[in-house]
Amino acid sequence: MALLAQPPTPQHPAPQHPIPTAPVYRAPAVRHLGPNWYATVMGTAIVANAGASLPVAVPGLRTACAAVWTLSLLMLLTLLAARSAHWWHHRDQARAHLLDPAVAPFYGCLAMALVSVGGGAVIVGRDVIGPDAAVAVDAVLYVAGTVVGLAVAVAVPYLMVVHHRVDAASPVWLLPVVSPMVSAALGPLLVPHLPPGQWRWTLLVACYGMFGLSLLATLVMLPLVFGRLMTGGPLPLALTPTLFLVLGPLGQSTTAANQFADAAPPGLPHAAGLAVLYGVPVMGFALLWLALAGAMVLRARRRGMGFGMAWWAFTFPVGTCVTGAEGLARHTGLDGLRWLAVALYVLLLVAWLTAAVRTARGLAGGVLLAAPPAPRPVTARTT
């Protein structure tokens, strides 16, 4: 007992306790790289795809679109490598993303990025890599993106029901279910390159099925989003740009209907009329929502909304409205729809340039890939 009372000596050193240290992560730059970054690829690809199909002749526009498509392909390859490193070295963070109701829906962006870049290969990328290589690239990316999109359309809603707990509907909920609509809209580009008969008809029927899947899921979720705005008021400032995501299924479904008309077999002689009958009312609602969302963004900007990755919501959804208006102009011959496509494309260019410059600046400053700030401790005041 006397020994226990003695102070520490060289013969009896004090017990050593390991000092806790922070975990050491490999590839720390990609630890906080979420699936929302695929929105940069989508937004860049739609600039090329929509510009190459614009119903006006602009000198040098197609060459510029080919360069933008090449950029989107390089961005896609870079992000696929970076996200693979994220999953390999930071599985804990990747699992946390899947269980986060604010992040998990962005896995739909992966599918849409793959399919958009693939479709762009046939639309304008063939000027860079040649027609045969363009079809091969589109086939690979289309199949991969469609498989991912269908899996996400099931898995993310399942996680939302079983694991996620949310207080209010968000426009981000549309991302998983709109990805099959992108496959439906760009699938007809591959139809002429398939053997006649069963192969072509099977792909078209699959596109029709994905069109219905995405449209009906959107019709279920969109009232929830609109109802949340009516009863809960405006979204938080940082999330206000996500209101533009509603334009995605509207513009993309109009684009898909017009693509179906272009690829329709002789047994469907009224496909173009059906595309116009569907697309014009939907485009009208899209313009209404564009005005409403734009007003909400201006309001948020006046109240101090700063830049964030959510600003990429201004690009791809607007781009789908451009391609939708292009298709309607092609099937009606109306100059008004032609100039609507041009006006929307100008808006798309401004949004893309703004988001791209701000993103490059944020990457250079290390802000966008930094760890999110720790939540402030909750304190209570006693009386």
Domain ranges of the chain: 27-361
Radius of gyration of the chain (CA): 25
- The stretch 82-92 carries a mean pLDDT of 84
Dist CA 267 CA 13 (whole Å): 92
17-31, 260-274, 303-317: lowest mean pLDDT where?
A: 17-31
The terminus-to-terminus CA distance of the chain in angstroms comes to 49
- The stretch 321-333 carries a mean pLDDT of 94
Between 166 and 130, name the one with better pLDDT: 130
Q: Helices (H), strands (E): how many in the chain?
A: 13, 0
- Using DSSP's 3-state secondary structure scheme, residue 75 falls into helix
Q: pTM here?
A: 0.88
Q: Is the pLDDT of residue 219 over 70?
A: yes
Going by the DSSP 8-state scheme, the letter that residue 59 receives in this structure is T
Q: How confident is residue 12, by pLDDT bands cut at 50, 70 and 90?
A: low
Dist CA 87 CA 102 (whole Å): 18
Q: Is the pLDDT of residue 9 over 60?
A: no
Q: Is the pLDDT of residue 240 over 90?
A: yes
Q: How confident is residue 378, by pLDDT bands cut at 50, 70 and 90?
A: very low
The neighbour count for residue 80, using CB atoms within 10 Å, is 15
- The stretch 87-105 carries a mean pLDDT of 83
- Using DSSP's 3-state secondary structure scheme, residue 48 falls into helix
Quote the pLDDT of residue 17: 53
Q: Is the pLDDT of residue 10 over 70?
A: no
- Using DSSP's 3-state secondary structure scheme, residue 58 falls into coil
Quote the pLDDT of residue 90: 81
What type of residue sits at position 277?
L
Task: Check: CB of residue 115 under 8 Å from CB of residue 189.
Answer: no
Between 140 and 103, name the one with better pLDDT: 140
Long-range CB contact pairs, 84-93, < 8 A, 24+ = 85/27, 85/30, 86/27, 86/30, 86/31, 86/33, 88/27, 89/25, 89/26, 89/27, 89/30, 89/31, 90/25, 90/27, 90/30, 90/31, 93/31, 93/32
User: Above pLDDT 70, what percent of the chain?
Assistant: 88
What type of residue sits at position 344?
L
Q: What is the pLDDT of the chain when averaged over all its residues?
A: 87
Structure tokens at 51: 């510009």
Quote the pLDDT of residue 373: 61
Quote the pLDDT of residue 27: 64
Task: Check: CB of residue 78 under 8 Å from CB of residue 109.
Answer: no
Q: Where are the alpha helices (DSSP H) in 163-308?
A: 174-186, 198-232, 247-263, 271-302
Quote the pLDDT of residue 270: 78
- The stretch 3-26 carries a mean pLDDT of 52
Summarize pLDDT for 36-70 with one digit per residue, the tens.
Answer: 999 999 999 999 999 999 988 889 999 999 999 99
Q: Is the pLDDT of residue 243 over 60?
A: yes
Quote the pLDDT of residue 85: 86
Quote the pLDDT of residue 23: 54
Between 115 and 266, name the one with better pLDDT: 115
Task: Check: CB of residue 66 under 8 Å from CB of residue 136.
Answer: no
Dist CA 140 CA 72 (whole Å): 16
Q: Is the pLDDT of residue 377 over 80?
A: no
Q: Is the pLDDT of residue 260 over 90?
A: yes
Quote the pLDDT of residue 364: 85
Q: How confident is residue 251, by pLDDT bands cut at 50, 70 and 90?
A: very high
If residue 303 lies in a helix (H) or strand (E), which one and from where to where? none
Dist CA 158 CA 191 (whole Å): 32
Structure tokens at 311: 């600003």
Structure tokens at 367: 């802000």
CATH number for the domain whose boundaries are 27-361? 1.50.10.150
Residues, the chain:
383
9-23, 159-173, 192-206: lowest mean pLDDT where?
A: 9-23
Q: Is the pLDDT of residue 25 over 70?
A: no
Dist CA 35 CA 249 (whole Å): 19
If residue 340 lies in a helix (H) or strand (E), which one and from where to where? helix 335-364
Distances (CA, A) of 223 to 100, 201, 216, 231, 330: 23, 34, 12, 12, 31
Structure tokens at 280: 């014009």
**Taking phi first (over 0 means left), then psi (-120 to 50 degrees means alpha), and beta for anything else, what does residue 57 get?**
beta
- The stretch 219-247 carries a mean pLDDT of 92
What type of residue sits at position 207?
C
Q: 332-349 as b/e, with b when 16 or more CB fall inside 10 Å?
A: beeeebbebbbebbebbb
Quote the pLDDT of residue 101: 82
